[in-house]
Structure 1
């Protein structure tokens, strides 16, 4: 009897415990799940200065200046960055040898003049004597020949002096046009040969934007392609330009082609060497939307994002078409409209129609919390 009572007590206890567990499970099922915090952004068209190709402002015309004769540099009047005017002295070499050549040429010219004058006077005397039948025809011919030789020597001496004086001007390097010195390769005391570059001078009146474009994208550029050139340090300063030249050969290391964009009447802020961003302008094309790559997830073989319904505080999956972009971003080709909010972290633990709470202005700690929350959600 005691054994049967004890068994009945155990069964009763088990039934009570089972009822309590079922009641707890029902209460847990009926308890609404707390909204999941998510990191999100509003999909907006990219700012102009964040698109395009980075590059710099360069002069369209740049000349390497050199002395036209051998010599040792004794003076340098300008340095890199100096503005110069046409005809201004830039540098000079030791001109003692060239000056000596000029003095020697002047002496030879003086002697040639004396010889030419003497030959002319001798011809005149011989002509007078020939008229009086005092000298023969051959004597007159010799006198005329001597005068012709002397005059030829005089012309040669004059030419030699012009040449020596012209060579003396080679000792001074002057600016062939208005511009700015962009490089210097020799200094005072250096001995330079004829034609060896001493400095580089660039014209400042005609400038252009130089960018490197991936070889795969150059085919998209039309012959008269328009570009919007934005100054990186001040994006409010911008100017339109036209494609002037595409390098016919890609760089073997970067696989990019050098593209030059002509700029007309560029503002002074576009100084040589200034960093710019050049954006190709295509007629009828809207500014693209870019979102972080972390906003994408795969479902049913499609690439999707979680679009936030802010009024209902829940998320809905939507298929999108994207293209790769630099810096961990993707360009949305279709599927999103400007102003829509998408989730950028914790996308792996969300479900369609799930309630969420927005984390505005979340930083690294918030992103870490969202990732931790995603991990715990996946584990559950």
Structure 2
């Protein structure tokens, strides 16, 4: 008899617990964060592809021929004007000495002929010299002047080529690639180093021409990649597209992002007019087998699961369509653990979290 009574007591307790669970009263009151559903101006967006690029990504080529003596290390950070490669200059130094000698010879001949012109001019005035002799000397003087000009030009060219034996960085950047090797003979125009500017990075994004009128109405776009997400300012719109792709290029300012050159990104581009919609943060959406829903907290601090449809999404906010009104308290943290009718408590940190969201 005692055993039967004990079994009845246990069974009665289990039934009571079952009723409590069914009525949503047996779960602990979990802490949640909420925001008010509100009406916002939203516009439909399309996510398009882009790439982080450098404003200057250059193959620095040799401007003279010669053997490569020195080359900057791969991955080196170099400053504008810094020597990044050195070509053997011995042949040009010899050429410079020859050119200097040619200039000196031309100057000496010109000085001699100028004095001859003066002397024969004086003789001709006193009829002591033939005019034809004077004319011939003047002609020789003019030829000597041309020879001097040519010799000086050849010397200047050699001096310039000597300067070109030292390849200097045209901008601050990173040595991304060594296109030639030390000891190789390079010709004029041979690429030697690929230099990439790492400051003031940009994103090259291609979007349909139909988005142009919407892009003109904003100055920044949402960007996303495997390294994070954020907002980037529009630097340039280029409303010109190829006949096949019908895509126009957008350049975004990526100087505030610590993202590497070549990283693939996604960019949200508006492709429709703005409209008023009831919106909540995306974190409020609960995705379950039976469909999409949100949890609303009623006046009794209990969670009410409300089925919704999802409309336009922009950034952190998304339009919801369902039995939700502006001002309803919607759970954005802790909803994944809730059950319909379950009592909840709103975290004390809720206000600071909402402020951070906004």
Superposition TM-score tier, normalisation by shorter sequence: 0.5 to 0.7
Counterpart for residue 334 of structure 1: 321
Alpha carbons of 1:312 and 1:141: their partners in 2 closer, same or farther (altered >3 Å)? closer
Counterpart for residue 305 of structure 1: 293
Deviations 1:235-283 (A, max 9, x none): 7x97762342358558x99x986532236xx55x747649788677989
Query: Which structure has more strand as a fraction of its residues?
Result: 2
Q: Which runs of 5+ in 2 are unaligned?
A: 1-14, 38-45, 344-358
1:60 and 2:47 equivalent? no
1:158 and 2:146 equivalent? no
Given the alignment, which residue of 206, 231, 237 partners 1:245?
A: 237
Counterpart for residue 252 of structure 2: 261
Q: Distance in 1 between matches of 2:91 and 2:280?
A: 67
- Give the match's secondary structure for 1:339: strand
8 Å CA contact 1:182–1:202 kept in 2: the answer is yes
Q: TM-score with structure 2 length normalisation?
A: 0.60
Q: Distance in 1 between matches of 2:90 and 2:153?
A: 21
- Give the match's secondary structure for 2:117: helix
- Equivalences for residues 44-59 of structure 1 within 5 A: 58-59=53-54
Q: CA deviation at 1:63?
A: 3.8
Q: TM-score with structure 1 length normalisation?
A: 0.57
8 Å CA contact 1:314–1:356 kept in 2: the answer is yes
Q: Distance in 2 between matches of 1:92 and 1:215?
A: 47
- Equivalences for residues 145-294 of structure 1 within 5 A: 145-203=139-197, 207-210=200-203, 212=205, 215=208, 218-219=211-212, 221-223=214-216, 225-227=218-220, 241-245=233-237, 248-249=240-241, 259-262=250-253, 266=255, 270=258, 273=261, 288-289=281-282, 291=285, 293-294=287-288
Q: Distance in 2 between matches of 1:116 and 1:216?
A: 68
Deviations 1:148-201 (A, max 9, x none): 212221121111211221122221111234444444433323343333332344
Q: Distance in 2 between matches of 1:293 and 1:355?
A: 14
1:112 and 2:106 equivalent? yes
Q: CA deviation at 1:59?
A: 3.6
Alignment size in residue pairs: 302
Q: CA deviation at 1:289?
A: 2.3
Which of the pair has the greater relative contact order for Cα pairs under 8 Å at 6+ separation? 2
8 Å CA contact 1:184–1:199 kept in 2: the answer is yes
Given the alignment, which residue of 120, 125, 130 partners 1:126?
A: 120
Q: Which runs of 5+ in 1 are unaligned?
A: 1-27, 46-50, 298-303, 346-353, 359-380
Q: Distance in 1 between matches of 2:70 and 2:253?
A: 36
In terms of Rg, which structure is larger? 1
Q: Distance in 2 between matches of 1:112 and 1:185?
A: 43
Counterpart for residue 24 of structure 1: none
Given the alignment, which residue of 89, 93, 96 partners 1:99?
A: 93
Q: CA deviation at 1:94?
A: 2.1
- Give the match's secondary structure for 1:241: strand
